[in-house]
């Protein structure tokens, strides 16, 4: 049976109209909904390195424990291609320090996994230079985290190494034993790839996955001189689990085949069909639990 986690970004008010809960209220929500664990957004308004010292982390750990919840993962936010146009500013050092502080917090929370990203494409910087930046600094982040007994999980989200074959190359170059992968079905599905193919290739390295389902909505721009429309890039809108185009049944079946033991987190981090009211968020969070239970034999 898959272990479930609820990502606190789902109740963080990060998109227009989305309900916002405090972190203690979110923990109570995850318990009431029936999740096994939580994935905590490591920035304000939730778990910020500015607000949670060692004592506050211990208190949060006890609160989660009182609810019977495991802190499965801290969701860090990094971009190692950020600020390449200003090399005089130590942007990457700041991010490494952030990851080190998250590692301290993770140890205090009895959590052994931190989510990180690679980098968004900087069109003014050569690809290989961006790649090297990501490898170099993720390697240092992994070494910093290792001193706290924490694993880094690279999520296939940002532009660098977002394709699963490139992700395998990246991990090989980083070459740190505590640097693993948080492989999601979302990106390869949008690429037109089979998400299950990535599961098979990356099987020994996958320690976590986050799920959300989406539909495509075609977009057009009116051209008055032609009395016609030109096609724009599709909009992607979040929907309850099982109602979108991502082949999650195949994805999770393949995770079972490889003997996956990590958590499956559910997130609502972009505009969701039905809006961002607490009632709609709760409804979709429950649908996810019902849906994933139906996958079990």
Q: How far apart are CA 106 and CA 24, in angstroms?
A: 17
- What pLDDT is stored for residue 4 in this prediction? 98
- What pLDDT is stored for residue 295 in this prediction? 85
Please, which residues bridge with residue 3 across strands? 263
Instruction: Express each pLDDT in 28-72 by its tens digit.
Output: 999 999 999 999 999 999 999 999 999 999 999 999 999 999 999
Does the pLDDT at position 255 exceed 70?
A: yes
Predicted TM-score (pTM) of this structure: 0.97
**Average pLDDT over all residues of the chain:** 97
Please, which residues bridge with residue 211 across strands? 266
Contact, 73 vs 153, CB < 8 A? yes
Q: Which residue has the tokens 């968020």?
A: 281
For residue 167, how far is the Cα from the chain centroid? 15
Which residue stretches of the chain are H helix? 23-33, 54-66, 91-108, 127-146, 164-174, 186-190, 195-202, 248-257, 278-293
247: pLDDT confidence band, cut at 50, 70 and 90? very high
Does the pLDDT at position 297 exceed 70?
A: no
For residue 247, how far is the Cα from the chain centroid? 18
- What pLDDT is stored for residue 1 in this prediction? 86
163: pLDDT confidence band, cut at 50, 70 and 90? very high
Work out whether strand 179-182 and strand 206-211 pair parallel, antiparallel, or are unpaired.
parallel
Does the pLDDT at position 293 exceed 70?
A: yes
Q: How far apart are CA 64 and CA 256, in angstroms?
A: 28
Q: What is the mean pLDDT of residues 277-282?
A: 98
Listing DSSP states for 106-121 in one string gives: HHHTT--EEEE-----
Q: What is the mean pLDDT of residues 121-135?
A: 96
- What pLDDT is stored for residue 114 in this prediction? 99
Contact, 52 vs 111, CB < 8 A? no
Does the pLDDT at position 213 exceed 70?
A: yes
The pair of structure tokens assigned to 39 is: 């994935």
Work out whether strand 70-75 and strand 206-211 pair parallel, antiparallel, or are unpaired.
unpaired
């Amino acid at each position: 049976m898959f272990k479930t986690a609820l990502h606190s970004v789902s109740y963080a008010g990060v998109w227009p109209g989305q309900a916002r809960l405090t972190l203690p209220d979110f923990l109570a929500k995850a318990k009431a909904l029936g999740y096994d664990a939580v994935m905590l957004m490591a920035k304000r308004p939730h778990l910020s390195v500015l607000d949670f010292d060692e004592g506050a982390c211990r208190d949060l750990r006890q609160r989660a424990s009182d609810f019977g919840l495991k802190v499965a993962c801290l969701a860090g936010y990094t971009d190692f291609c950020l600020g390449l146009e200003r090399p005089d500013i130590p942007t990457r050092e700041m991010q490494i320090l952030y990851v080190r502080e998250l590692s301290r917090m993770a140890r205090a929370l009895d959590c052994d996994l931190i989510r990180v990203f690679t980098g968004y494409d900087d069109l003014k910087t050569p690809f290989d230079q961006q790649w090297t930046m990501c490898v170099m600094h993720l390697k240092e982040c992994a070494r910093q985290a290792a001193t706290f007994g924490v694993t880094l999980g690279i999520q296939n989200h940002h532009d660098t190494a977002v394709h699963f074959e490139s992700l395998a190359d990246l991990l090989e170059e980083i070459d740190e034993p505590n640097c693993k992968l948080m492989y999601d079905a979302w990106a390869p599905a949008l690429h037109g790839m089979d998400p299950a193919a990535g599961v098979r290739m990356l099987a020994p390295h996958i320690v976590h996955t986050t799920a959300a389902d989406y539909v495509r909505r075609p977009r057009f721009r009116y051209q008055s001189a032609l009395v016609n429309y030109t096609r724009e890039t599709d909009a992607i809108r979040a929907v309850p689990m099982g109602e979108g185009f991502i082949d999650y049944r195949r994805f999770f079946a393949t995770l079972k085949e490889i003997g996956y033991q990590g958590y499956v987190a559910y997130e609502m981090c972009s505009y969701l069909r039905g809006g961002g009211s607490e009632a709609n968020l709760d409804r979709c969070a429950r649908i996810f639990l019902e849906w994933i239970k139906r996958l079990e034999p």
